[in-house]
Structure 1
Amino acid sequence: MRARLLEATVELLVEKGFSGTTTTLVSERAGVSRGAQLHHFPTKNDLVVAAVAHLTERRGEELAERAAELPTGSQRTRAVIQMLGDHFAGPVFTAALELWVAARTDAALLEAVAPLERVLGRETHVMTVELLGADESQPGVRELIQATLDLVRGLGLASTLGDDTRRRRKILDQWALTLDVALDKEKQ
């Protein structure tokens, strides 16, 4: 029941945004009584804070699953960058984005969101370094990895306003070529 409530919360965050997500709608979507929902999560913030933790876990699992399927060889950088781009343009990121925006003006929500996002950010950074075989002891490599993550987040944000898959793919293909050149130079 708890998992259904959390999944329903994430779905509604994507569909209706933070302000449109109500505990009543979550109960209805999850197929549980309002009393059962209140037993697990007495307030909307309790529900959303639990959903933040659930969402953070899902985002990490989703990335790890996709990373395990990546090819090796000359197309690896492109595949890593496209995987990150797809992840940050997907519904799980959209739900997280709703929480980030709401947390900007809600201190209790910020207190829950910020530490989880820092952990996920570090884990995503480390995973990206590993997947690209990058050596962060080389000057500029850490910044290239961070620029990559900032780029895919920004493109993910842009995708919330409309489908820009074709444009995003072109940008990410070019960035993959740029990274290959830059990281090869760093390895020398």
Structure 2
Amino acid sequence: MGAVTGASTGTPSGAATADARAERLPKQDRSRATRQRLLEAAVACLAERGWAGSTVSVVAERAGVSRGAAQHHFRTREDLFTAAVEYVAEERSTALRALFPQGASGDRRAVVAALVDLYTGPLFRAALHLWVAASDEEQLRPRVTELEARVGRETHRIAVELLGADESRPGVRETVQGLLDMARGLGLANLLTDDTTRRARVVAQWADLLDTALA
């Protein structure tokens, strides 16, 4: 989630500082750093402006690079934003892993809360804008569908591991998937209003249900 915050400092002075740092790096590292800045800027733009307001030019300006440099890394707008959401997915998985580096130690409430947090932050908001765009953009839809299927499998796998769920038992897989679907729904609700208080009660109830279902 720090990626979005970092991308939001796309002021001229920030860009100049970034360019100065980039010049001191070897060419390959400069290219990697530019790509990273573009992805972070794309995520921030999607979260704040939505698909319609997130053009390649807007993202390039925010990242402090030229439009030509942006198109060198990402040939089309669809390429840029598909890569951005893949980056979001990796950040989401990394963030979840970082919360439990030694495993969850049976604290299912903490795992449920962490999963819900993944779906209520700016990274999920950015991904959601791309989903909406993909529903109308024929070129974008198959890329986003494939990506989200992969992200869904990875998130499910991490959830199973952290919850200590035994999916060989009837109903356990569906229970874990229900948790993820619920978390996604809370993320959607959070787009319109601050749902923090109700969300905390839902998290507590789901943790109790999981303790019973997975025991």
TM-score (norm 2): 0.80
Is 1:157 matched up with 2:178? Answer: no
Q: Which residue of 1 aligns with 2:42?
A: 9
2:89 corresponds, among 43, 48, 56, to 56
Deviations along 1:21-42, whole A, 9 cap, x unmatched?
1112111110112221222223
The alignment of Structure 1 onto Structure 2 pairs a total of residues equal to: 182
1:95 alignment partner AA: A
Structure 1 Cα separation of the partners of residues 170 and 141 of structure 2: 33
Deviations along 1:13-70, whole A, 9 cap, x unmatched?
0011111111121111101122212222233222212213222222222222223266
**42-51 or 105-114, larger mean C-alpha shift:** 42-51
Give the unaligned 5+ runs of structure 1: none
Q: Which residue of 1 aligns with 2:157?
A: 126
Structure 2 Cα separation of the partners of residues 71 and 37 of structure 1: 40
Is 1:179 matched up with 2:210? Answer: yes
How far did residue 104 of structure 1 move? 1.1
Give the unaligned 5+ runs of structure 2: 1-33
What percent identity do the matched residue pairs reach?
A: 53
Alignment of 1:24-173 (within 5 A): 24-68=57-101, 71-73=104-106, 76-173=107-204
TM-score (norm 1): 0.91
Computed over aligned residues only, the root mean square deviation of the Cα atoms, in angstroms, reads 1.5
Higher helix share: 1
- Going from structure 1 to structure 2, the CA distance change for 1:131 and 1:11 (only over 3 Å counts) comes to same
1:161 alignment partner AA: L
Over 4 Å off, 4+ runs: none
Contact 2:104 2:163 in 1 (8 A): no
Q: Could you say what secondary structure the match of 2:208 adopts?
A: helix
Structure 1 Cα separation of the partners of residues 116 and 171 of structure 2: 22
